[in-house]
Amino acid sequence: MLKAKKKIYKNGLRVVTIPMKDNPTVTVLVLVGTGSDYEPKEINGISHFLEHMCFKGTTKRPSVQVIAHELDSLGCQYNAFTGSEYTGYYAKGDSKNFKQMFDIVTDVYLNSTFPEAEMEKEKGVIVEEINMYEDMPASHVQDLFTEVLYGDQPAGRSTLGTKENIYKMVRDNFVSYKKIHYVAENTVVIVSGNTTSEEVYKEITKYFKDVPVNKSGKKPKTKDSQDKPNILIKYKETDQTHFVLGVRTFDLFDKRNTTLSMLAGVLGAGMSSRLFTKLREEMGVAYYVRA
């Protein structure tokens, strides 16, 4: 059975190690506790934009080409992702390259320079990413459901932000936002694979000794109230209608969520579920349905 070991440093940095001695690979993941739920309306989308910009050059590796070439030369899988409450940077590769992989991932996380020329180009990339998801109704309808659920507050806004916000952002926005959120107490480093906790701690001491230690930015409290049914309709010319119906239930840690998951399974998980049977097999009006 795999055992995770957690260590918390005096500056608040959290480190989780999962040694797997029979695994030929190792994964380095750095998480920061910020996402779209932490963003003011005028800079909604900055967490995701900043994630993109972290790969555009560091004090040690001056361009995206240098970063990508080094990771590709190691045969790594690597990427980054942004959610509503966290952002992550990771690389996975041969365990013999652990130290070099750790160096690259932490360099991207800690030492990005946000070149203005790259920022201006990346605005176009992100706007096209927004367009791409808006052209995928099955995905976009989930964002619309979140919008109608929470309304005009951080929890109800898209992780990608708006096109208007993206075009208005300047370098100072990234520097200020990173200074507030990319700090020790808001950072978790996770390493799993063929390495030891002691090896990881050595690299942590080497690379994170100067990580900022100021208090991290806090998430605005979400107003979670509703006194009447809410509905949102967005028209776009496609061949299908995508429909989501939802009701408020329990918080994340409520014990009744297990029962709720079973109910969702009965309704819409698998080909024998009630909704699948009715809508697809009996009526023939839909291709996919889930709960």
Residues with catalytic function? 51
- What is the crossing angle of helices 98-110 and 64-73, to 10°? 160
CA distance 186 to 49: 19
Give the three-state DSSP class for 175.
helix
**Beta 14-19 vs 187-193: how paired, if at all?**
parallel
As a whole number of Å, the CA-based R_g of the chain is 22
CA distance 95 to 20: 10
Q: Which residues of 3-19 are buried (b: 16+ CB within 10 A; e: fewer)?
A: eeeeeebeeebbbbbbb
Residue 43 DSSP label: G
Nearest Cα neighbor of 141 from 290, 30, 271, 32 is 290
CA distance 268 to 289: 6
Contacts of 102 (CB under 8 A, 6+ apart): 28, 191, 203, 207
Give the H or E element holding residue 69.
helix 64-73
